[in-house]
Structure 1
Amino acid sequence: MAVETVMLAPLILLFLLFLAGAGVLVESQGRVAGAARDAARAASVRRTFAEAEAAAEAITTGVLRDRCRSAEVSLDGSEFQGGGQVRAEVTCELDLSFLGFDATKQLTGTAVVPLERFRRVEEDGG
């Protein structure tokens, strides 16, 4: 019985490590999607595109600073005008060093928030 236990112990540990890694990946993907949603929402209430980019960057950094080696947000594809939309895409380089090897996994989340049709939007710089 002891021999079987000794032979199965590494397999059981490997399986538990796999479960832990899968759990971290799922939880981190949820955080990245949530950061994209929060960044798009924060950007959608700003008056200028520059303010929107700064707000989206602040939200993304705040939400993902402990989880990602690097986190970036892009507002490309946004139609920053009344009746338009803000599209935030957040990219995160997830650090997988807790699994025992130096690796990263790129996670991406996207969110789109509409802008009110009759809201006041200013041109950048004025």
Structure 2
Amino acid sequence: MAVETVMLAPVFLLFIMFLAAAGVLVEAQGEVNGAARDAARAASVQRTFDAATAAAEESVRAALTGECRAPAVSLDGSRWEQGGQVRAEVTCELDLAVLGLGGSRRMTGTAVVPIEQLRRVE
């Protein structure tokens, strides 16, 4: 019985480490998707595209802290007009060294929010 335990312990340990790594990746993807949603919402209520860009960047900085390094937001693909839409794409580098895996992984999240029909935009 002791021999089987010694043989299977590394397999169980690797399985637990895999589950922890998968959990970190799923949680980080959720945070990046949420940051993209928040950035698109913050940008959609602004009157100018420059103000929208600044609001989106501030929203992303507030939402992404921790393992995500160098978060960036892009509003490319937005139709900045009445009844248009704001498309926010957020990217960051997830540091995997916390799990002992080394390296990093690029995480990307996208959200689209409509601009109100009667909102005046410039």
- Shared fold by TM > 0.5? yes
Pairs within 5 Å for 1:88-107: 88-107=88-107
Letter in 2 for 1:48: T
Q: Unmatched 5+ residue regions in structure 1?
A: none
Letter in 1 for 2:48: T
Structure 1 counterpart of 2:70? 70
Letter in 1 for 2:111: A
SS of alignment partner, residue 80 of structure 2 = coil
Structure 1 counterpart of 2:41? 41
Is 1:61 the counterpart of 2:37? The answer is no
How far residue 69 of structure 1 moved from its aligned partner, in angstroms, is 1.6
> What's the Cα RMSD here?
1.1
Residue-pair matches, total:
122
* Range moving further from structure 2, 47-56 or 63-72: 63-72
TM-score (norm 1): 0.91
Alpha-carbon separation, structure 2, partners of 1:29 and 1:119: 32
How far residue 120 of structure 1 moved from its aligned partner, in angstroms, is 1.3
Letter in 2 for 1:37: R
How far residue 3 of structure 1 moved from its aligned partner, in angstroms, is 2.0
How far residue 63 of structure 1 moved from its aligned partner, in angstroms, is 1.0
Pairs within 5 Å for 1:1-126: 1-122=1-122
Alpha-carbon separation, structure 1, partners of 2:100 and 2:67: 16
How far residue 75 of structure 1 moved from its aligned partner, in angstroms, is 0.2
How far residue 118 of structure 1 moved from its aligned partner, in angstroms, is 1.6
Q: Detail structure 1 runs of 4+ shifted over 4 Å in the superposition.
A: none
